[in-house]
Amino acid sequence: MKLDEPVAENPLLTVEDLEVGFESFDGFAEVIDGVNLSIGKGEVVTIAGETGCGKSVTMKSILRLLNQPPARVNGEITFDGTELLSLSDREFERVKGQRMSLVFQDPMSSLNPTFTIGEQLTDTAQFGGDSDTGVVEFFRRRFSGERDEARERVLEMLREVQMPDPENIMDSYPSQLSGGMRQRALIAQALLNEPDLLIADEIGTALDVTIHDQILDLLKDLIENHDLSVLMITHNLGVARQVSDRVYVMYGGRIVETAPTDELFENPKHPYTQGLIASIPRLTGDEMATGIDGSIPEYLDPPPGCRFAPRCPYATAECEQARPEMYERGPQTGVECVLYDEAVPASERPTVEETRSHMTRRPGKQTGDD
Amino acid sequence: MKYWQYLVRRLAGILVSLIGLSIIIFTTSRVLPGNPARMALGALASEEQVQALAAEMGLNKPIPLQYLDYMRGLLVGDLGTSLETKRAVSTDIVYYLPATLELITVSMFLTVVIGIPLGVVAAQNKDGLTDNATRLVAFFSVSVPGFFIAIMFQLLFGYLLEWLPITGRLGSEFGSGVSRFTGFLLVDTLLSGNLAAHVDAWAHIILPALALSLAGIGQVMRITRSSMIDVKDQDYVEAERGFGLPSWLVTYKYTLKNAFIPTLTILGLLYASLLGNAFLIELVYSWPGLASYGVTAVLNNDFNAVVGVTMTIGVAFVSINFLVDVLLGRVDPRIRLAMEEAT
C-alpha cells in the first residue's frame, strides 16, 4: 500500500474511456463521459464527488449491475488481465463471484429480512462464487460436513469484524440487529470468499458518526489483514481521507482530479476539489462556506466544454467551448483544468482560500452535518 | 409477549367473533318471512298440526331463549334437525363437508403448484413472451365464470374426448369396495386398499377442481409475479446475486420466500371464499358437497341447516385465517418479532 509506487505497473482493475449513457423518453443522457481509472494491487482508492456526479454509475458499470438497455456502456474494463466487458454474462458472474465483492450502501436493506444471519452468510460461504451449482449438488453439499466447516468460517469472520456475541447473531434475523451490527455482518459476508477486490458503496454513511468511525477503523484493519484492493465510493471527503491511498474526484461524469490522498488534501488543484475542501466545516474560523453555488449539470444537455464551467469562479470563454486536457499528468496525479496548462504562470492558479472567498458563506459556530 | 401468546390471544378473539356470527345468523334465520313448520309439513297440513310442530321446535319462544337453547345444543354437537332431509344437521354436515373440503383442497393444491411457478416464470421474463402469455391466461381465467369453464371441460374432456367422467365423485362400480373412514374419497380409497378406486377418484375430482381453481390460479399468478418483481429489485437480492450464489437459489429461496408473503394472504382468502363459491361447480358436476346442501337449505327455508352450514363455513373461514397468521409468522420473522416487541 505504498503510494510512491506507480500504480500503472501492477494494476488489478483498470477502466479506460468508460462512457455510459441512458436512453430516456427525453433523449439520450450522457452520464459517464470518458472515465479512466486504475486500482493497483493492495491499493485503496476512493471515488469522491457529490450526489449525482456518476460515482455509482461507474461502480455499477464495473459490476455489470446496469440494465442494458436503457443503459449503454462503452470502453474497456480490465480486471487482472481479463477484459470484462467482452465476457459472457456467465463468465463474468464467475469472475465477479469469486474475486470481487460489493458492500452495498444501506446496511438496512442489504440483508435478506426473512432468513437468519447464519443462514445467509453460511450459504454465501459455501456457495458464493459457485454459481454453476445445480439443485442436486446443492442439497448434497448443503447436508454434508462441509456445511459445518462453512458455519465455522462464518463464525470466525463474524469475530474478525468484531461482531458482539456471534453465536447468538447467527440465529438472529436482520431486524433484530442494530445498524452497526448489520454493517459488520455485511462486511463479513463480503469477505467470506476472500475477494481480491472489494467495492464499497458509501460504506457506513447510513450510520451515526461514532459507529461510522468504528466501521472505517475496522475496514482499515481488514484491508491490511486480507491484502485487499478496495474501490470506495463516497460523497464524504472525510471518509476518503481516513482510509484511502488515492482519491479520484469526480464531477459531472468525468474524473476532474486525481492524486494521492495527502497530496490532494494539502494541495488541491481543481477549482471543484478546492470548493469541496473549502466546504468542509472547520472548528476554527468565523464563517463557513455553505458549498459550491449551483448544481450538477443536466446530463441530457451537458455543457459542451468543461462540465464544471457554469459553476466555476475562474471559468473563461475557452472553458465553455472545449473539454480541457488532463494536465500535470503523472502515474498517480492529474487535473482536468486549463489553469494547469504549462503556459499559465503558477501565480495565477487559485488556492483553496481564494476559492473559499468566491463561495457563499454564513457565520460560523455551526456544526456541519457531515 | 411471545408469538404463541399472541396466537392464543387471537384464538380468544376468534371465539368472540364466532359467537357474534352465530347471533347474527341465528336471528336472521328466525326473523326471515315464511313459517318453517309450514314449510316442513307442506301445504296440506292443518293449522293445528303446524302449530303443534312449531311448539315442538320451540318457535313460539322469544328469540333470545331460542338462541340459548340452540347454543346449549351446539355445545353437545346438536345443531337441530334438517326439515328437508329429516336428519340431524350435524350428521348432514359430517356427510357433505368432506366432499367439499376435498374438492377445495385439491383446487388449492392446483392453484399453488400452477399459479406460483407461473408467476415466478412470468417475473423472470418480465414483459417477455412468457409474461404476456401468462398475463392473457390470467385475465381469461379471472374473467370467465367458473361454471362456464366447468361445462366446457365436461363437453371437451368428458363428452367429446371421453377421457374423464362427467359427474360424481366415484364410478358406481367402486361403490361397495370403498369403506367410509374420513369422507375424503382420495384418502378412503387408499385406506380401503383399492388402488383402482383411488385412480377413479382422481379422475372424478380433477375437472371440478381445475374449473374451481382457475380464477385463483390467475390471481395467485399475478400477485406472485408482481411481488417477485418488487423483491428482485431489493438490495439484498442484488447482493446475493453479487456474491455469486447460484441464480436458481437466489430466485427460489431468497426471492420467493419474501415474495410469498402477499401470496400467502391471498391463498388464505381464496380457500375460505371457495367454501361458499364451490356451489356452482358442485351443481354442474353433481358433487354431493356442503355448498349445494347449503343452497338447497336456503331455498327451502330449512333454517337449522342454514345456520349449521353458515356456522361451519364461518369456523372454516376463521380457522384458515388463523392458520395463515401462524404461517405468516413462520415465513416472515418481522411479523413475529414485531408481535413479540409490542407488549
Per-residue pLDDT of B131-157, as tens digits, reads 999 899 888 888 888 888 889 998 899
Contact B209, B103 (CB under 8 A): yes
The residue in chain B having the minimum alpha-carbon distance to the alpha carbon of residue A94 is B244
d(CA A274, CA A278): 6
pLDDT beyond 70 at A1: no
Predicted ipTM of the assembly: 0.77
Mean pLDDT value of segment A94-113: 84
CB contact under 8 Å between B243 and A193, yes or no, is: yes
d(CA B125, CA B305): 50
Angle, CA of B193, B197 and B202, to the nearest 5°: 120
The residue in chain A having the minimum alpha-carbon distance to the alpha carbon of residue B236 is A110
pLDDT beyond 50 at A4: no
Task: Kindly report the nearest CA distance between residue B119 and chain A, in angstroms.
Answer: 20
Task: Kindly report the nearest CA distance between residue A234 and chain B, in angstroms.
Answer: 18
Q: Is the dihedral of CA A265, A267, A273, A275 positive or negative?
A: positive
d(CA B224, CA B252): 12
pLDDT band at B221 (very low <50, low <70, confident <90, very high): very high
**Would you state the pLDDT for residue A80?**
86
Closest CA relative to residue A100, chosen from A136, A66, A135, A60 = A60
Structural domains in chain B plus CATH codes: 3-75 (no CATH), 92-301+309-341 (1.10.3720.10)
Give chain B positions within 8 Å (CB) of A176: 337
**Would you state the pLDDT for residue A350?**
81
Cα A62 to chain centroid, rounded: 11
Closest CA relative to residue A234, chosen from A370, A107, A40, A42 = A370
d(CA B95, CA B90): 8
d(CA B91, CA B97): 10
Cell of A212: 461510522
Per-residue pLDDT of A131-160, as tens digits, reads 778 888 888 888 888 888 889 899 988 998
Pairing assessment for the beta strands A197-201 and A82-83 based on DSSP bridges: unpaired
Looking at domain A7-251, does it have CATH number 3.40.50.300?
Answer: yes
Cα A340 to chain centroid, rounded: 26
**Residue from the list A114, A138, A176 with its beta carbon closest to the beta carbon of B249:** A138
CB contact under 8 Å between B334 and A120, yes or no, is: no
**Would you state the pLDDT for residue A56?**
85
Partner B contacted by A150 (CB < 8 A): no
**Would you state the pLDDT for residue A5?**
39
Interface test with A, best of B245, B264, B327 (most A CBs within 10 A): B245
**Which residues sit opposite A198 in a β-bridge?**
A101, A230
Would you list the domain boundaries of chain A? Answer: 7-251, 267-363
pLDDT beyond 70 at A196: yes
pLDDT beyond 50 at A217: yes
Give chain A positions within 8 Å (CB) of B235: 104-106, 109-110
- Residue that wins the pLDDT comparison between B36 and A125: A125
CB contact under 8 Å between A94 and B244, yes or no, is: yes
Contact A269, A354 (CB under 8 A): no
**Residue from the list A106, A112, A132 with its beta carbon closest to the beta carbon of B240:** A112
Contact A213, A180 (CB under 8 A): no
CB contact under 8 Å between A193 and B257, yes or no, is: no
**Would you state the pLDDT for residue A363?**
67
Partner B contacted by A129 (CB < 8 A): yes
The residue in chain A having the minimum alpha-carbon distance to the alpha carbon of residue B261 is A114
The single residue listed with the C-alpha cell 313459517 is: B35
Contact A200, A187 (CB under 8 A): no
pLDDT beyond 50 at A267: yes
**Residue from the list A98, A114, A127 with its beta carbon closest to the beta carbon of B258:** A114
For A345, list phi and psi in degrees, rounded to 5: -65, 145
Task: Kindly report the nearest CA distance between residue A43 and chain B, in angstroms.
Answer: 22
Residue A25 has a CB neighbour count (10 Å cut-off) of: 5
d(CA B75, CA A314): 91
Partner B contacted by A97 (CB < 8 A): yes
**Would you state the pLDDT for residue B106?**
94
Interface test with B, best of A123, A173, A193, A231 (most B CBs within 10 A): A123
pLDDT beyond 60 at A366: no
The helix (H) or strand (E) run that includes residue B120 is: helix B116-124
**Would you state the pLDDT for residue A365?**
52
SS3 A218: helix
CB contact under 8 Å between A110 and B235, yes or no, is: yes
Strands laid side by side in the A229-234 sheet? A100-103, A197-201, A229-234, A44-48, A246-251, A254-260, A334-335
CB contact under 8 Å between A114 and B237, yes or no, is: no
Say what percent of chain A tops pLDDT 70: 93
CB contact under 8 Å between B246 and A104, yes or no, is: no
Q: How many CA within 13 A on the CB side of residue A113?
A: 19
CB contact under 8 Å between B249 and A120, yes or no, is: no
Say what percent of chain B tops pLDDT 90: 20
d(CA A252, CA A264): 19
Peptide bond into A70 cis (omega under 30): yes
Mean pLDDT value of segment B87-114: 91
CB contact under 8 Å between A135 and B248, yes or no, is: yes
Mean pLDDT value of segment B256-273: 89
**Residue from the list A96, A105, A175 with its beta carbon closest to the beta carbon of B242:** A96
The residue in chain A having the minimum alpha-carbon distance to the alpha carbon of residue B246 is A131
Q: How far is CA A48 from CA A224, A335, B25, B92, in A?
A: 22, 14, 69, 76
**Would you state the pLDDT for residue A2?**
30
Mean pLDDT of all residues belonging to chain B: 86
**Residue from the list B234, B237, B337 with its beta carbon closest to the beta carbon of A175:** B337
Closest CA relative to residue B237, chosen from B225, B226, B224, B249 = B249
Per-residue pLDDT of B272-313, as tens digits, reads 888 877 888 888 888 888 888 888 888 888 888 888 988 888
**Would you state the pLDDT for residue B109?**
94
**DSSP code of residue B213:** H
The residue in chain B having the minimum alpha-carbon distance to the alpha carbon of residue A91 is B244
Q: Which residues of B touch A (CB under 8 A)?
A: 234-240, 242-249, 254, 257-258, 261, 331-334, 337
Give chain B positions within 8 Å (CB) of A131: 244-247
pLDDT beyond 90 at A235: no
**Would you state the pLDDT for residue A193?**
84
The residue in chain A having the minimum alpha-carbon distance to the alpha carbon of residue B242 is A97
Per-residue pLDDT of A313-361, as tens digits, reads 888 888 888 888 887 777 788 888 888 887 777 777 788 777 877 777 7
Pairing assessment for the beta strands A287-289 and A361-363 based on DSSP bridges: antiparallel
Partner B contacted by A127 (CB < 8 A): yes
**Would you state the pLDDT for residue B119?**
93
d(CA A363, CA B131): 59
Which residues, 6+ apart, have CB-to-CB distance to B78 below 8 Å? B88, B90
For A113-117, A331-335, B328-332, which range has the lowest pLDDT when averaged over its residues?
A331-335
**Would you state the pLDDT for residue B257?**
92
CB contact under 8 Å between B246 and A127, yes or no, is: yes
Q: How many CA within 13 A on the CB side of residue B96?
A: 29
Q: How many CA within 13 A on the CB side of residue A249?
A: 28
Which residues, 6+ apart, have CB-to-CB distance to B124 below 8 Å? B228, B251
**Would you state the pLDDT for residue B25?**
87
Q: At what angle do helices B3-31 and B333-341 cross, to 10 degrees?
A: 90
